[in-house]
A and B are shown apart, each in its own frame.
Chain A
Amino acid sequence: MSMVPDRLAAGGRLNALPFWMRSVLEVIGPDLHGGGVDAPPQPASPGWTAALSLTVATALLLIAAGHGAGRRGEADLALLLFWSGIVLMVVPTSFRIVWPSVGRSERLVLLLLFAEGLFCLKILYSPTGFADYDEFLHWIAVDDLMTARRLFLSNPLLPVGPTYPGLEILATAIVDLTGLSVFAAGALLLAVLKGTFVGALFLFYERISGSPRMAAIACVVYMGCSTFVLFESMFSYESLGVVFCAVIFAAEAGSKDLVGGSRSKAFWLVAILLAGLMVTHHLSAVYAAIYLGAVAILEMLRHGASRREIGLAAALAGVVVGLPVLWSFAWGDPMVGYLGPVIETGFKALFHRNIQDTRVEVMGWPSEPLGMRLTTMAGILLLALGCATGFFRSLATTAVGAGAQPGWLAIGALLERRWRDSRIVFLTFLAFGFPISVAFRLNVSGWEIGNRTGTLAFFGVGLVVATSVVYFWQGPAARRWRVVAPALALAVIVLGGVTAAWLNPIQGRYRVGADAESIEPMAIGTALWTKERLGPGNRFVADRVNLMLLATYGRQDVRIFMGAGISDSRVYEPEELPPDDLYALKHGDVDFMLVDMRLSTGPPVLGFYFQPWEANAGEPLSPAALLKFDGIEGIGRIYDNGWIKIYDMRGLHER
């Protein structure tokens, strides 16, 4: 029996295609399987909500126990406890959220519970302090702001940071109003931001799809983005920027059916939010500009759009492009200097041109357990399947007359510029960003750009995969495997997001050059010693991890260059200091140098000891190279704990 529906087969030329091709076209095609999206919802079930709250809490307990086992060096037990907890949190919650007949409010409460549960992963990993490199960069800025009580102070580890002080301002406001520590204030702010993001995302999808069920599924899909669990939960400006994006998108989509004064007020609401975004995060401002600019262009192209609609869309696009450009240029355009090299290196790596990725050649990829890699791969494949089966269906949902012109004819209406909602058209095409982001992530140099592309692309991926689930995989009255299989697939997608977010999500023993995994009490104690015994504000150089500990716990003035053009790594790496570098050290202004002998015990996990651009990235450091400062006249080793040594360079300057 043919799988091709009669109306498609009756469509003329398609009938002449081979069977396999017709089958493929049916699977990926725009057939919406008869219209109705949502099954009649049941009233919200407090029983399910309470039971799932207990389930998530139990999962968190298992995860905390897993970290504890990891800290004690019991790796196998840690794996078992941690991943049991993750599965216990993800699978039942996502099953209930995407179940066809669940009420709107219950879906919403469970989405918030799920999002905050995933946020707690980061808190349980490091419960009393920041752990990731980006977080330290912003912690330094908050500390500086709270010490000097003024904005726009330079940040040597993040030169672009002072131009975008939104997060630091808010964190300072909370610290000053509540009297909490920076970490506690930051964690509370991030928890609020996570809930707001998911709430805004739900509103956004609900507005454009008209279905709470599709909105909830799209939110669950977004949680499968590699940046959702960790990157957008860090104390870092993108975590605030992406929340502004989601609220702006929701407010703009919410204004589409308003008229008169209400529409104008909604415009002002979006403009206010855009002003906040402009001073918060450069890349998120670009995301908003891309989205609102593309929607404005599509509104201009749309057949039957009113002048008022086009005018409002164009005005918003003007604001969203104009404000960040003005702000950036007012500060000497630091954004281009910061993002330009990242984008250039990423594209070069993608197309294998003129790129010498030493880290890839020498170190290879940072290793991940096989199970994590397989889960990530499964998540990517399921997302690709969802995108393939949802792309044309998503377009068909907004095609004018899709009901009267079923199948591929609905797509024809789009070619005639007949669509109802430009947002759906753009988001559907935005989903193409997902395979591009995956391609970037396949090499170390392009990883950063691929990671950040995913944040924007998943706004589209969420909609397309949700359309696929609702219209193709489940349908309006799903039974048995049609309910279970898509729910299971969505759970795997979220698990894939968790595994893609971390190199190693479980606390464990110290590892060399691994950012969060290299932070442990001894190094923190050394940084605290510098503040206590040397006082704050001394000019320090060190490896990447100790540098951020010195800047935050130690409140030292850290440097990534010894002098003009001489990076830290150039002085640390050779076994004998070349005369040129010694001359530069003598005439430089560095007060102290920290040497961590643990760097010589293994290769750096991330591929570099000091900074990504170090000349001999990936090459091991020898103990003799690190100890060479003992033999230089004028340098004194003032601190030694067996592993970490601090050298006083001030005597060198006097010679």
Chain B
Amino acid sequence: MSVENRDLPAACIWATATAVAVAVVGDGTPLRVLLGLPMAVLVPGHVLLRAIGIRTHSLLEHLVYAVGTSLVVGISGGFILNAVGALTPAGWATWFFLFVVTASLVAARRGGASYLPSWPRPAGFHLRHAVACALAASVATGAYVLAVRDEAKQQQYEYTEFSMLPSIDGGRLIVAVRSAEARTQRFDLEVTIDGHQLAAFRSLAMAPGDVWTREVPVPLLADPQKAEARLYRLEDERLYRQVTALVPGS
């Protein structure tokens, strides 16, 4: 293998490493991302350009064409994997591996297709420039972290979720309360069915983030029954939430 063609085995090694990573490395790990993203948007296009024998005249031109054709390779793979019922992580890894290896073999058999644009080394680039760029990356990352933090803290509405669902067999009612209020609140909760009290829970203290769930047994009748649950807020002694559910007949 000539020096100019070293990119082809490198692409094959990359494809192999990606396939192995998809099989054994956990989701979202930095290694999977570092291997997988270039495999989806750069490497297949690069070997395709080499296989066709397209000579590019600058690094920019090569990267732009490589990304463009990689996208087409990915889309084509989607149709092929769909046709064979293999649109899965393993299917994708196999597709890109087979494509890269095949295109590399075709490119290697081509005579005179070894041209690659050189990476332009920036003149006058000193340590202080690298430090400034690293600092810029840190500040930009800080901006993102700040945005995530502010989004997580945003709470325009303070509320309490109240819900009631009949179980699948109809023999129970699942009543739930979840607090997204700013402070702890106390509630009384009553459950009735066709106007008759079924259950009552007194002085429930719900702190922000608390979830309270109970299953209330329901006597099954031949006809459907209407269940109603009421949540009273003790602070102002008012009906705070009200939900209803239809319990199907037996």
Query: Is chain B a partner of chain A in the same complex?
Result: yes
**Which A residues have a C-beta under 8 Å from some C-beta of B?**
43-47, 49-51, 53-54, 56-58, 60-61, 63-65, 67-68, 71-72, 105, 108, 120, 123-124, 126-128, 145, 149-152, 165-166, 169-170, 172-174, 176-181, 184, 188-189, 192, 196, 199-200, 202-203, 240, 243-244, 247-248, 250-251, 254, 261-262, 265-266, 268-269, 272-273, 275-276, 279-280, 507, 509-510, 520-522, 525-526, 529, 533-534, 634, 636-643, 646, 648, 650-651, 654
Choose from B78, B89, B244 the contact partner of A165 (Cβ within 8 Å): B78
Q: How far is the CA of A124 from the CA of B49 in the complex (A)?
A: 36
**A269-B78 in contact (CB<8A):** no
**B64-A178 in contact (CB<8A):** no
Instruction: Say yes or no for B120: interface residue by CB 8 A criterion.
Output: yes
**A60-B36 in contact (CB<8A):** no
**A180-B27 in contact (CB<8A):** yes
Instruction: Say yes or no for B85: interface residue by CB 8 A criterion.
Output: yes
A240 / chain B contacts, CB cutoff of 8 Å? 71
Q: How far is the CA of A327 from the CA of B75 in the complex (A)?
A: 15
Knowing A43-B123, A176-B88, A196-B67, the reply to whether A643 touches B159 (Cβ < 8 A) is: yes
CB contact list, B82-116 vs A, under 8 A: 82, 85, 87-89, 91-93, 96
B153 / chain A contacts, CB cutoff of 8 Å? 71
Nearest CB of A to B110, in Å: 11
Q: How far is the CA of A487 from the CA of B151 in the complex (A)?
A: 36
B139 / chain A contacts, CB cutoff of 8 Å? 54, 57-58, 60-61
B132 / chain A contacts, CB cutoff of 8 Å? 50-51, 53-54
For the side of the interface on B, what is the size category?
A: 35 or more
A57 / chain B contacts, CB cutoff of 8 Å? 135-140, 143
Choose from B82, B92, B140 the contact partner of A177 (Cβ within 8 Å): B92
**B156-A520 in contact (CB<8A):** yes
Choose from A199, A510, A651 the contact partner of B224 (Cβ within 8 Å): A651
Nearest CB of A to B31, in Å: 10
Tell me the nearest residue of chain B to A126, going by C-beta.
B151
**B92-A176 in contact (CB<8A):** yes
Q: How far is the CA of A650 from the CA of B245 in the complex (A)?
A: 10
Knowing A67-B150, A188-B37, A247-B68, the reply to whether A522 touches B140 (Cβ < 8 A) is: no
A525 / chain B contacts, CB cutoff of 8 Å? 161, 180
**B245-A636 in contact (CB<8A):** yes
Nearest CB of B to A240, in Å: 7
**A178-B36 in contact (CB<8A):** yes
A534 / chain B contacts, CB cutoff of 8 Å? 165
Nearest CB of B to A112, in Å: 9
**A179-B26 in contact (CB<8A):** yes
Knowing A57-B137, A203-B60, the reply to whether A529 touches B163 (Cβ < 8 A) is: yes
Q: Tell me the dominant secondary structure on chain A's binding face.
A: helix
Choose from B77, B123, B142 the contact partner of A44 (Cβ within 8 Å): B123
> Which of B4-12, B51-59, B193-201 touches A?
B51-59
Q: How far is the CA of A269 from the CA of B162 in the complex (A)?
A: 59
Q: How far is the CA of A177 from the CA of B21 in the complex (A)?
A: 8
**A128-B151 in contact (CB<8A):** yes
Q: Give 1 or 0 for each of B216-250: 1 = CB within 8 Å of chain A CB.
A: 00000000101000000000000001111110100
A640 / chain B contacts, CB cutoff of 8 Å? 161-163, 241-243
B13 / chain A contacts, CB cutoff of 8 Å? none
Nearest CB of A to B133, in Å: 5
Nearest CB of A to B221, in Å: 15
Nearest CB of B to A592, in Å: 11
Tell me the nearest residue of chain A to B26, going by C-beta.
A179
Q: How far is the CA of A61 from the CA of B135 in the complex (A)?
A: 13
- 4 tightest Cβ-Cβ pairs between the two chains A and B: A179-B27, A169-B78, A177-B36, A276-B72
B89 / chain A contacts, CB cutoff of 8 Å? 176-177, 179
**B242-A637 in contact (CB<8A):** yes
How many interface contacts (CB-CB < 8 Å) are there between A and B? Answer: 292
B88 / chain A contacts, CB cutoff of 8 Å? 149, 176
B87 / chain A contacts, CB cutoff of 8 Å? 145, 149-151, 172
A273 / chain B contacts, CB cutoff of 8 Å? 68-69, 72
Q: How far is the CA of A637 from the CA of B153 in the complex (A)?
A: 30
CB contact list, B20-37 vs A, under 8 A: 22, 25-29, 32-33, 35-37
A189 / chain B contacts, CB cutoff of 8 Å? 41
Q: How far is the CA of A189 from the CA of B88 in the complex (A)?
A: 19
A127 / chain B contacts, CB cutoff of 8 Å? 144, 147-148, 151
**B39-A177 in contact (CB<8A):** yes
Choose from A247, A262, A646 the contact partner of B65 (Cβ within 8 Å): A247
**B245-A46 in contact (CB<8A):** no
Q: How far is the CA of A643 from the CA of B92 in the complex (A)?
A: 44
Q: How far is the CA of A634 from the CA of B26 in the complex (A)?
A: 48
Choose from A56, A174, A275, A522 the contact partner of B136 (Cβ within 8 Å): A56
Q: How far is the CA of A268 from the CA of B54 in the complex (A)?
A: 10
Choose from A128, A203, A648 the contact partner of B245 (Cβ within 8 Å): A648
Instruction: Say yes or no for B204: interface residue by CB 8 A criterion.
Output: no
A150 / chain B contacts, CB cutoff of 8 Å? 82, 85, 87
Instruction: Say yes or no for B146: interface residue by CB 8 A criterion.
Output: yes
B183 / chain A contacts, CB cutoff of 8 Å? none
Knowing A151-B78, A275-B72, A509-B156, the reply to whether A638 touches B64 (Cβ < 8 A) is: no
B41 / chain A contacts, CB cutoff of 8 Å? 170, 174, 189, 192
**A177-B93 in contact (CB<8A):** yes
Instruction: Say yes or no for B47: interface residue by CB 8 A criterion.
Output: no
**B72-A639 in contact (CB<8A):** no
Instruction: Say yes or no for B160: interface residue by CB 8 A criterion.
Output: yes
Tell me the nearest residue of chain A to B124, going by C-beta.
A46
**A202-B60 in contact (CB<8A):** yes
B36 / chain A contacts, CB cutoff of 8 Å? 174, 177-179
Tell me the nearest residue of chain A to B163, going by C-beta.
A639
A200 / chain B contacts, CB cutoff of 8 Å? 64, 68
Instruction: Say yes or no for B184: interface residue by CB 8 A criterion.
Output: no
A sample of 18 cross-chain residue pairs with beta-carbon separation below 8 angstroms, ordered by A number, consists of A43-B124, A46-B129, A49-B133, A50-B129, A57-B138, A60-B139, A123-B144, A149-B88, A179-B27, A179-B29, A188-B33, A192-B37, A203-B64, A250-B61, A266-B54, A276-B71, A639-B161, A642-B157
